[in-house]
Every structure is written in structure tokens, then in C-alpha cells.
Amino acid sequence: MRANPKRTGVASEPWQWSHYVEGTPGSAATAPSQTCSNYDATTQAFGSGSQKCNQNQVAAYDLYLFKSRLEAAFPQAQEVKATVCPTNDLSVAPTLSALACDASGALAIKIVWRAKIGREVNRQMSGDANASATRQMFYQVRFSP
């Protein structure tokens, strides 16, 4: 994200990363129409052959790689969701049904997954001897350019 900021062209406006914000937070990893993995040093652009990627296409490809690699990194997880979204309050924990994006403030990167854990570990965490053997876990961090 830091390597692909956007600017509106107005010198007084700061760099921004709104092209990384998804319309549907937590959507699955979907391959974009343009693969933006090859960097051509001569043209100083991503793409292959005559197909060069714009900043939005690079962002879409970055998000696809990020989500694909998360899914591969959590093979035992029953669900994995991730998003980049603006939010003011990181004290609200994201869940699989609501990633807690309030559409204002600085960007945050949020990851939520459901994982199986041992019943004894779950009992110790929840205090409930009959607690489910799965638990929603999350990680979120403020994006700082």
C-alpha cells in the first residue's frame, strides 16, 4: 500500500489510499481481470507486454494476493475474512459478520477468522465447560503511511 499511493494532481492535497478500500468489506479473494505482478523497469509500470496496470488495478491485485495468502496461511480455519477500510475506533472488535468499519477516519487493516481450538483451552478462555470448540479470532492494525 505504501508503494502505491494516489494523488489527485493538486499539489496541496496529500497522498491517499482510497483505491485500497473495498466496496464489500471482507469479500473473498477474487482474481482481478488484470494481473499486475510483473514490474517493467523500462516503462516503470506493472503489467505484461502492452497491458500496463493503473494504480487501481495494482491495488486490486495487491488485495487479491493479500487475501489469497491469508487463506493459505490459515488452512485449518473455517472462515477467513480481511479488509482495508476507514474507521475511527479500533476498540470495536471485528467479527465475521461485521468487520466494524465505520467509513470514517484513518485506514485500518482487519483480519477475522474462526479456528478450532482444544475444548480445554476454550473452557479456560471462556469459563464455560460446554463452550464451542471454535473461536473467532481477530487482528486489526491502523495503516500508517
In the chain, how long is the greatest CA-to-CA distance? Answer: 63
The whole-model pTM stands at 0.78
Residue 48: pLDDT above 70?
no
Share of the chain above pLDDT 70, in %: 86
Strand ranges inside 10-50, DSSP E: 39-40, 45-48
pLDDT at res. 126: 65
78 in helix, strand or coil? coil
Average pLDDT over residues 114-127: 68
Q: Supply the pLDDT for residue 91.
A: 92
> Which is more confidently placed, 7 or 31?
31
Mean of pLDDT over the chain:
82
Other CB atoms within a 10 A radius of the CB of residue 82 amount to: 25
Distance CA 67, CA 29 (A): 5
Distance between CA 76 and CA 116 in Å, rounded?
Answer: 7
Q: What does residue 55 show for φ and ψ, rounded to 5 degrees?
A: -65, -35
Q: Are 109 and 82 in contact (CB under 8 A)?
A: yes
